[in-house]
Structure 1
Amino acid sequence: MARIFDVIEYPSEMDGEIVHRFPEDTAGDFRIGSQVIVRESQMAVFYRDGKALDTFGPGRHTIATANIPLLIDLIGKAFNDRSPFTAEVFFVSTREFADEKWGTPQPILVRNPGMGLGVALLQGFGTYSYKVADPQQFVAQIVGVTGIYTTKDIEARLRAMLLSKLQDLLGETAQETSVPELIGLVEELGIGVKAKTLDEFKAIGLSLLSFYIESLKPSERSAEELRAMGMLDMETYTQLQAADAMRDAAQNPSGGAGLTAGIGAGMGIGSAITDSLKKSSSGSGADVPASASGPPPVMTPSEAAAYLKVAEEDVVAAIEAGDIKAKKIGKAFRISKEALDEFLSS
């Protein structure tokens, strides 16, 4: 004979649990007069035949046709107070689920006109918190007949919703704000993401309480990794690959051929970007005349770096490696323009 439950409760803190069905594996036998005990930070949704009949807040409740009017229509008027009937109770946690983690699994592409390649790849991470605002809606839309539903079960869906809105917001904001300024607007962006997801969370019975961006910065992924993710066309890939080579060469303490190749690659990118910007500003593909003043005939490492469009330490490393001819006067280097032109043509 099936067990008849006279007391229905789930005395648990529900740590990590959003919903717990009673009984957990199947429907239970209850009767008019059974007691439903709901703890603080819980709500109980009473179900029969897949239909929500009522929701109970914290406290002790007696199952009766007076507080569940639909019950008499479902179990029939022939039932008396002691006749059992089959039903389910879903205990739903109403506490805040705080410090949930989010992060960008792939960099977010943001347009960055007038700087570098014209795009930036941003990565970020942070936390968010939420709670169940409509227990009936959440059980109906998300939980179904699942016996136990936890934060782990829904985290992928919520992260996808949040990251989609973050990507949209970054794209919209970048149209009027430079990327360096954008990175400084993490608080405003967090508020914006929260506002954008309001309706989607409400549709599944949830309320987003907070969305924090703890870090937002340019991606450190290499050109190879980005291309493997399908995020780069061939032209951008080639340029970024050259930039990677230059960065690696700058980190090479021995200098040599690697450094030379790196600086050469950097010059290639610099020239390509400069040409592109010149064409954009002039409105045509015609060449823009160079400055009449030009570089001085003899330069310091800093001036040479500006001429080559590389870092000063790269120039010094190339000098010490013997790739750039220079004169050392005391502790300072002086480089002729002819030596730099010879280096570039080598």
Structure 2
Amino acid sequence: MLNVTYGGFPMDALDVIEWQDVTGTEIVHRWPPHGAGNIRLGSQLTVRESQAAVFFRDGQALDTFHAGRHTLETLNLPLVQKLINIPFGGETPFQAEVYFVNLRTMTDLKWGTRSPILFRDKELAMVQLRAYGMFTCRVAEPQLFVNKVVGTEGRYDLDSVEAWMRSFIVSRFNDTLGEVLETILDLGRVYDEIGIACRERCREDFDKFGIELLDLLVEAITPPEEVQKMINE
């Protein structure tokens, strides 16, 4: 929800900017949804707990605000001021977008292989494996996240984050499996090691995008039925 008042200024110049996620699923909400918004100095920006507001202009994330009520002025918009040279004390609206970023912890997210992956087994040659698990994360650096991941999207929801991260996790899982495991017959012995190694690899990846990976679990790695029988024996 965006709350807008006008205070005698042009109808498209905002005096109050705020957003509340009423769906519980939005991670990023862009104001306005399309194009640039007109914002004047003196406007009030309300950022709720577990939110950040990132000002965006000309393809780059600029000044970031955290929880609280902020009066927009040149002193707290140094990057916007540097880019577009807002007149000090001016009342002429300037153009920018505001990305509200949800900083809450995202739990119970799922990852898994959509189709079997081929594993080169030193005992059994090529084996098809499936794997799945859970992960938990949060946006730790909203400015970096908006720059690297969101771009010009009008909104970015939980499903989008889950799908985007899932592709990274599966890729890193494949790499980790080849390094840690020589034969699927030893799977039970190195299960935890695979999970830890995959988690650390993924953390390095996600850090580059402003996302903190809090936990990653490998819940199951399943070979074909005939191979599973060999492992059980």
TM-score, length basis structure 1: 0.58
Alignment match of 1:189 (pick from 194, 201, 208): 194
1:200 aligns with 2:209: no
Match in the other structure for 1:144: 151
Q: Give the letter aligned to residue 19 of structure 1.
A: V
Structure 1 Cα separation of the partners of residues 177 and 79 of structure 2: 49
Match in the other structure for 1:50: 59
- Aligned partner of residue 155 in structure 1, secondary structure: helix
Alignment match of 1:173 (pick from 165, 180, 183): 180
1:126 aligns with 2:133: yes
Match in the other structure for 1:21: 30
**Is 1:33–1:81's contact at 8 Å kept on the other side of the alignment?**
no
1:59 aligns with 2:68: yes
Number of equivalences: 218
Match in the other structure for 1:108: 117
If each structure's strand is expressed as a fraction of its own residues, which one has the higher value?
2
Deviation at 1:197, TM superposition (A): 1.6
TM-score, length basis structure 2: 0.83
**Is 2:128–2:224's contact at 8 Å kept on the other side of the alignment?**
yes
Pair 1:187–1:15, CA change in 2 (3 A): farther
Who wins on radius of gyration, i.e. which is larger?
Answer: 1
- Segments of structure 2 that go 5 or more residues without pairing to the other structure are 1-9, 227-233
Q: Give the letter aligned to residue 45 of structure 1.
A: V
Deviation at 1:53, TM superposition (A): 2.6
Pair 1:174–1:66, CA change in 2 (3 A): same
If each structure's helix is expressed as a fraction of its own residues, which one has the higher value?
1
Question: Which residues of 2 match residues 180-329 of structure 1 at below 5 A?
Answer: 180-220=185-225
Match in the other structure for 1:89: 98
Structure 2 Cα separation of the partners of residues 111 and 179 of structure 1: 9
1:10 aligns with 2:35: no
Describe the superposition over 1:83-117 as per-residue Cα deviations: whole angstroms up to 9, x where unpaired. Answer: 21111110011111111111222223333334xx4
Q: Give the letter aligned to residue 10 of structure 1.
A: W
| Percentage identity across paired residues of the two chains | 42
Pair 1:78–1:95, CA change in 2 (3 A): closer
Aligned-CA RMSD value: 2.3
Bigger relative contact order, structure 1 or 2 (CA pairs below 8 A, ≥6 apart):
2
Q: Give the letter aligned to residue 201 of structure 1.
A: F
Structure 1 residue ranges, 4+ long, deviating more than 6 angstroms after superposition: none
